[in-house]
Amino acid sequence: MNTGLAGGLYVVATPIGNLGDITARALEVLRGVELIAAEDTRHSAVLLRHFGIETPLAAYHDHSAQRDLQRVERVLAGGAAVALISDAGTPMISDPGYRLTRFAHEAGYPVIPVPGASAVVAALSVSGLPTDRFSFEGFLPAKAAGRRSRLEALAERVETTVFYEAPHRLQEALSDMVDLLGADRPALLARELTKSFETVRKATLGDLLDLVMADANQSRGEIVLVVAGAEPRDRSLDTDTQRLLDLLAEEMPPRKAAALAAQYTGLKKNALYQYLLERRGE
């Protein structure tokens, strides 16, 4: 079938709730491709029916049986256009797509993005938090020990961080964040974005935890948490400490000078040592 679409793998974003968010290009591509590889064919059939799209569907996820993957691969190998969609939003963003896009690159087929909705970007866009740099953490580990050690590892990060969270784990996750990131951190709880019960709450982590504990409705549905980064540490040393370090460094190696100054000032040896290294231009 010649649909006018060049062959290759089209990675197509679909809405995260409101069907009005599908793009005109996504509809054109989904109508024009020979096959749509979908995370869940029954789920996607509802979306396609809504838009009157009759393109055949094939099941695809990152743990698909070799047989399913081969069906998609055969169509690509014939020079046809194939679309990849997930249940909602952008494929590959906490969703399947890795194996197929990697395969398409390795086999030399064009891989074409058809961008659209994604909960991470939607939540960030209304967060009122710095977005010049941000980290996307996806889902935190489900078990408390794993979640806490992940949060500990990112407690000092200065950039805004985005998390996806399951409704039944929201309260525990917020409670661990209050514990490990601090109750005063500004954050945003974005729930059911683009849907009827959409709520966007900007508050501190502590206040968001109180809100969720007081009202079970606040942990229903699909959830994104956007958390402000840590305040950057003031690494500058006062002038007396600098003078002390400069004098000591004239008489002894920097590591020893830093150790002595640390004993005298009670400051961290490593910070003092770093100062001396920077002073020497290292």
Residue numbers at the binding site for ligand SAM (CB under 6 A): 16-17, 86, 88-90, 93-95, 118-120, 164-165, 190-195, 222-224
CA distance 137 to 156: 14
CA distance 13 to 85: 6
Cβ closest to ligand SAM, residue 97 vs residue 254:
97
Give, in order, the Cα–Cα distances in Å from 84 to each of 1, 16, 70, 111, 272: 19, 16, 14, 10, 53
Cβ closest to ligand SAM, residue 191 vs residue 262:
191
Cβ closest to ligand SAM, residue 61 vs residue 185:
61
- Inter-axis angle of helices 254-265 and 239-251, nearest 10: 140
CA angle 132/178/205 to nearest 5° reads: 55
**To the nearest whole angstrom, how small is the minimum distance from the Cβ of residue 110 to ligand SAM?**
22
Ranked by CB distance to ligand SAM, the top (closest) residue is 89
**To the nearest whole angstrom, how small is the minimum distance from the Cβ of residue 70 to ligand SAM?**
25
**To the nearest whole angstrom, how small is the minimum distance from the Cβ of residue 245 to ligand SAM?**
48
Name residues whose C-beta falls within 8 Å of residue 89's C-beta, 6 or more positions apart in sequence.
Answer: 13, 14, 15, 16, 95, 116, 117, 118, 119
Phi-psi region of 160 (alpha: psi -120 to 50; beta: other; left: phi over 0): beta
Cβ closest to ligand SAM, residue 195 vs residue 269:
195
Cβ closest to ligand SAM, residue 38 vs residue 244:
38
* Cβ–Cβ under 8 Å, residues 225 and 162: yes
Cβ closest to ligand SAM, residue 80 vs residue 140:
140
**To the nearest whole angstrom, how small is the minimum distance from the Cβ of residue 46 to ligand SAM?**
16
Cβ closest to ligand SAM, residue 64 vs residue 241:
64
Cβ closest to ligand SAM, residue 16 vs residue 100:
16
CA distance 189 to 138: 14
Burial of residue 239 (CB within 10 Å: 0-12, 13-18, 19+) is: exposed
**To the nearest whole angstrom, how small is the minimum distance from the Cβ of residue 90 to ligand SAM?**
4
**To the nearest whole angstrom, how small is the minimum distance from the Cβ of residue 109 to ligand SAM?**
22
**To the nearest whole angstrom, how small is the minimum distance from the Cβ of residue 37 to ligand SAM?**
15
The DSSP bridge pattern shows strands 186-191 and 199-204 to be antiparallel
**To the nearest whole angstrom, how small is the minimum distance from the Cβ of residue 164 to ligand SAM?**
3
